[in-house]
Amino acid sequence: MKYALLGDIHANYEALTAVVEKAEEIGVDRYICMGDIVGYNADPAECLEFVRRLDPEAVIRGNHDEYASTNNDLMGFNPQAAWAVEWTRENITDDHKAWLKKLPYQAVLNAKVTLVHATLDMPSKWGYIFDKWNAEASFNYQRTPVCFCGHTHVPVAFDKFGGIDTDHYRELVLAPGHKYLINVGSVGQPRDGNPDAALVIYSPEERKVELHRIPYDIAACQEKIRRAGLPERCAVRLAEGR
Ligand SMILES: [Fe+2]
């Protein structure tokens, strides 16, 4: 069994289709979507439709999914993110919003793998896991050997018992008896300095997690952002991977 984990797609259709093309080439069996399908970039409706057609094993709710599908106050969002949320509210349908509203904050697959967008200690408060202290708080609520998360757009892995702190990984072989918290990075807005889209492949039988980075047509995505009148910063940051 091979799962493709798609994190923080953020309405970037060019990145999403490039990543799925690679996943198909690798021969994945099922998709898992780690939340934030919408926000920042200009193709929220297209990305929602595309993800739904993938028929994922699980789709987790991200903060942008929540705010774009409700009229919740945007206090706490930075100005560009808030602008993009408001734009997204106008550019997805009521059916998209109803679907987003049903997404769970977390899920457990086969009693073995936990999925959450932000943190397990407060999944609906959208805290960030930047360091081992943040990871420790989440580990306290992790009942499975592996938890995948997203939200920071930075692919890192923590091992509660193995001393891996903020380790940028390419390939992990999961040791029995350990406890892992693995951020899958971002498809549509990477922030680790590498602009290529992130794709994580998880093979439970082989106990393997691989991170692939996929180049895509950034210029086409930027052009759509500018045409939509979304913040210029949203376009610029894609090329910087920040
Ligand atoms: Fe995000």
Phi, psi of 207 (to 5 degrees): 55, 40
Give the distance (Å) from ligand 1 centre to CA of residue 178. Answer: 27
Q: For residue 165, what pLDDT band results from cuts at 50, 70 and 90?
A: low
Q: Hunting for tokens 């691989």 — which residue is that?
A: 210
Domain extent for 44: 3-240
How much is the pTM?
A: 0.97
Q: Is the pLDDT of residue 166 over 90?
A: no
Give the distance (Å) from ligand 1 centre to CA of residue 220. Answer: 20
Q: Which two tokens stand for residue 24?
A: 């198909």
Q: Apex CA 202: angle with CA 98 and CA 107, to 5°?
A: 35
Distance between CA atoms of residues 113 and 9, nearest Å: 21
Give the distance (Å) from ligand 1 centre to CA of residue 203. Answer: 24
The predicted-structure confidence for 41-100, as pLDDT tens digits, reads as follows: 999 999 999 999 999 999 999 999 999 999 999 988 899 999 999 999 999 999 999 999
Distance between CA atoms of residues 214 and 212, nearest Å: 6
Beta strands in the chain (DSSP E): 3-6, 30-33, 58-59, 106-109, 113-116, 146-149, 157-159, 164-167, 171-173, 180-183, 197-203, 208-214
Give the distance (Å) from ligand 1 centre to CA of residue 39. Answer: 8
Q: Is the pLDDT of residue 18 over 80?
A: yes
Around ion ligand 1, residues with a beta carbon closer than 5 Å are 8, 36
Give the distance (Å) from ligand 1 centre to CA of residue 176. Answer: 31
Share of the chain above pLDDT 70, in %: 98
The predicted-structure confidence for 109-147, as pLDDT tens digits, reads as follows: 999 999 999 999 999 999 999 998 999 999 999 999 999
Q: Is the pLDDT of residue 154 over 80?
A: yes
Give the distance (Å) from ligand 1 centre to CA of residue 115. Answer: 15
Domain count, the chain: 1
CATH number of the domain to which 116 belongs: 3.60.21.10
Distance of CA 189 to the CA centre of its chain: 9
Give the per-residue pLDDT at 213. 98
Give the per-residue pLDDT at 76. 85
Give the distance (Å) from ligand 1 centre to CA of residue 152. Answer: 7
Give the distance (Å) from ligand 1 centre to CA of residue 173. Answer: 26
The amino acid that residue 214 corresponds to is I
Give the distance (Å) from ligand 1 centre to CA of residue 172. Answer: 23
